[in-house]
Structure 1
């Protein structure tokens, strides 16, 4: 079954309403008080041509990791919420789920399976991520992802093959076809990014304009040095906040990213050690085609987990590279300004 044949016109842009973004931020800020774990929620909207419009969302409750009925409880909660929204005659079409937390996206087996099942039901479904660390640096930490075409095609082929062989169970294709599902393409192409734009209604734009006008009016009474770009009175020249945009300190974000990167590297090392140990043990037992297939089936979960952790590490490395590039750019700018000011200053004459 060709997965891409289901999609008449694939989406090439995701439009997110401003209230959806605010709900995601509020959900994370409320939950981050007690823990720094990722928070999840369901996206609602509609696909219009090549654009996916996300108009509403609702958060999912926190569950215990050791609760065996957690997934069933979340599915029931999601179905009840969508049914209630449908009765209220609001947008109720499930178009994916969102995830908010440091780093933005968490690549693991559960999330990959979640994205796949949603894209099977609605091919336009996406994973929307919010990274608060990027927002704290003055960037919109909002991104949208979907599974790459190679992963979707390989998973679909694996399901067809195992269906013909009489195998049952949703975990069989991921376990036994890890090489074709993930290894067919590079681990850096497990997810592909879709451009995101934030949209506000005309009433919201009018309200924002009025807020800006009111801020400008109140500020003009305090200073004649007003500007449409500033929403607060100008700070004194000796105030450190005047140069906050040139702040080079990113110790907290950098430390958090490096800790996650080191933890991921240790996990990859453990998976590689487990893989080599299992491989050497299986090679010393029996030989033959049946034994090879059994060995590949036993080693497939380790290969899949290694590929997913490697994909997560690639996201961390890209984030660190971008963070370092911004810091270096600010450093070069401050050095150029300092050099210009020092060269233009009059030299003191010796008496």
Structure 2
């Protein structure tokens, strides 16, 4: 798997438009202590911002970018990063770039943000089934994709025009005509199967919780029935009845419901893989029909 990269996005928040005008990468360091890496990373960012300010470049942080492999980005770490950024930046975005998908002649670039309803639940760490039903929050309500418009300055456009090949076709056009689909399809199917296994494990975890909950409720009912019978006997003898709940009894200790966040993220990732496979399969059929027509004409 190729190394993933990430970096800071700089720009301006103007009205309803968030302009990303510059960026710089974060250093990648392995094998060092986490505290040292965080301290060095913070100093590096401050120094980069100072240098950019000196050359009159927009140095306002508006989010971050990160690369992904086959569209695998729906993780709890991504959500925590969003929250850390939004402590200081109300409207921040994350730009996701997939170099493998872009290598096939398609610009695989998307800008994401978290929905307000999901962020509120995540701050409270309350992902129980009851709370999710109250908020009417589904796995589709985690991320919100923001439309992206790419534009160049007049100087960059002029340089690109000078560098543009006189050939009517570009390398991206040829990449889109490649018939081989094995690497992309195999990896997507492999990751899809792994996600299905993870989702199955999450379902087993919830089934185990509900079995224990049903067993506990049955034990509580049996204990209450026994206590009520005992209290009837005590009342008949003129004695004070005993309380019908005993907080010291283990069967009255509430069971902690597992968080549904992981299952939501896994379901989101499964949907992403299915969309990629579906889209790529459709393009492959078009290529095959086109090649069949070319062979018939020849």
TM interval, short-chain normalised: 0.7 to 0.9
| TM-score, with structure 2 as normaliser | 0.75
Contact 1:150-1:181 within 8 A present in 2 as well:
no
CA distance in 1, matches of 2:37, 2:215: 40
Q: 2:236 maps to what in 1? A: none
Q: 1:114 — aligned with what?
A: 81
Q: CA deviation at 1:292?
A: 8.8
- Whole-angstrom distance in 1 between the partners of 2:203 and 2:30: 29
* Counterparts in 2 of 1:55 and 1:243: CA distance versus 1, 3 Å: closer
Which one has the largest radius of gyration?
A: 2
Offset at residue 252 of structure 1 (A): 0.9
Residue 41 of structure 2 corresponds to residue 42 of structure 1: no
Mapped to 1, the partners of 2:152 and 2:280 lie a distance apart of 29
1:94 alignment partner, one of 61, 68, 87: 61
1:177 to 127, 130, 136: 127
Match of 1:133 in 2: 100
Name the CA shift for 1:244/1:71 in 2 (closer, same or farther; >3 Å): closer
1:250 maps to 181
Give SS of 1:332's match: helix
2:150 to 172, 179, 198: 198
State the partner residue of 1:54: 20
What does residue 263 of structure 1 align with? 194
Unaligned runs of 5+ in 1: 1-34, 160-172, 217-226, 233-241, 343-351
- Paired residue secondary structure (2:13): strand
4+ residue segments displaced more than 6 Å = 290-293
* Corresponding residue of 2:139: 187
- 1:327 Cα deviation (Å)? 0.7
Find the aligned partners of 2:54 and 2:24 in 1 and give their Cα distance: 16
Q: CA deviation at 1:149?
A: 3.6
Shift of residue 78 of structure 1?
Answer: 3.4
For 1:82 and 1:58, locate their aligned partners in 2 and report how far apart those are by CA, in whole Å: 9
Task: Spell out, residue by residue over 1:104-157, the C-alpha distance to the aligned partner (whole angstroms, 9 max, x if none).
Answer: 4511111112123323432321110111122111111111111124313544xx
In the aligned structure 2, how far is the partner of 1:188 from the partner of 1:293?
A: 34
Q: What secondary structure sits across from 1:258 in the alignment? A: helix
Question: In the alignment, is the contact (CA less than 8 A) between 1:36 and 1:101 conserved in 2?
Answer: no
Q: Structure 1 87/97 Cα, relative in aligned 2: closer, same or farther at 3 Å?
A: same
Write the distance in 1 (CA, Å) between the matches of 2:31 and 2:271.
26
Give yes or no for contact 2:74–2:266 (8 Å, CA) kept in 1: yes
1:33-87 CA-to-partner distances (Å, cap 9, x unmatched) read xx52432211111112221111111212335599553774445543443344345
Alpha carbons 1:128, 1:145 under 8 Å: kept: yes
1:324 maps to which of 281, 288, 293: 281
* 1:307 matched to 2:274: no
Mapped contact 2:70–2:100 kept (Cα < 8 A): yes
Matched residue count:
264
**Which whole-Å CA distance do the structure 2 matches of 1:112 and 1:263 have between them?**
21
1-side partners of 2:252 and 2:36: how far apart? 36
Q: 1:277 aligns with which of 208, 211, 229?
A: 208
Q: Is the 8 A contact 1:54 1:95 kept in 2?
A: yes
Change (3 A) 1:246 1:110: closer
Cα distance change on mapping 1:315 and 1:245 into 2, 3 Å: closer
- Structure 1's 280 and 38: CA in aligned 2 closer, same or farther, altered over 3 A? farther
